[in-house]
Amino acid sequence: MENLSTDWTKAEFKAYLLTYAARCNFFESEEEKELIMGYVNQDQYKRIHKEIEHDNDYQSIQKIMFNLEKFNYSKDDLERLMAEIKQFLKSDGNIDAEEQNLLIGLKHLFTK
């Protein structure tokens, strides 16, 4: 399995992860963009957004797994991160089927 490494900060990783989550239903709301911009500046946001547009799902998952390990998230950290992602996905009003499937997939990745 190819390991796609990054040199992101923890904030940039969170921005990538939230952007990945926002794009799972092929629509990124203004509320979601504003929340992501709370973690990174505009230049970082544009760079991360451009990168995720070029990544396929496999590459995104590899980058997520790499950074989870890189930042050594504890079980409690992962639970908080999952709750934060779920709250983030609710920012546009509800969690649709694609977003629910994403949460299931991330939960699986977080328990590896």
Look at residue 5 in the predicted model and tell me its pLDDT: 82
26 conformational bin, left if phi > 0, alpha if psi -120 to 50, beta if neither: left
Residue whose C-alpha is closest to residue 70's, from 18, 112, 21, 7: 7
Look at residue 96 in the predicted model and tell me its pLDDT: 87
Contact predicate 86/103, CB 8 Å: yes
Is residue 40 assigned to a domain?
yes
Look at residue 2 in the predicted model and tell me its pLDDT: 59
Here the contacts of 46-49 (C-beta below 8 Å, separation 24 or greater) are 48/12, 48/15, 48/16, 48/19, 49/19
The mean pLDDT of the chain is 91
Is residue 103 assigned to a domain?
no
Tell me how many domains the chain contains.
1
Is residue 86 assigned to a domain?
yes
Contact predicate 39/9, CB 8 Å: no
Is residue 104 assigned to a domain?
no
Is residue 5 assigned to a domain?
no
Is residue 68 assigned to a domain?
yes
Is residue 87 assigned to a domain?
yes
Residue 30 sits in which domain range? 10-94
Look at residue 3 in the predicted model and tell me its pLDDT: 60
Look at residue 29 in the predicted model and tell me its pLDDT: 84
Give the global pTM.
0.89
Is residue 109 assigned to a domain?
no
1, pLDDT greater than 50: no
pLDDT digits over 6-56, tens only? Answer: 999 999 999 999 999 999 888 888 888 999 999 999 999 999 999 999 999
Residue whose C-alpha is closest to residue 85's, from 30, 35, 25: 35
Q: What stretch of H or E contains 49?
A: helix 42-54
| More confident: 100 or 91 | 100
Look at residue 88 in the predicted model and tell me its pLDDT: 92
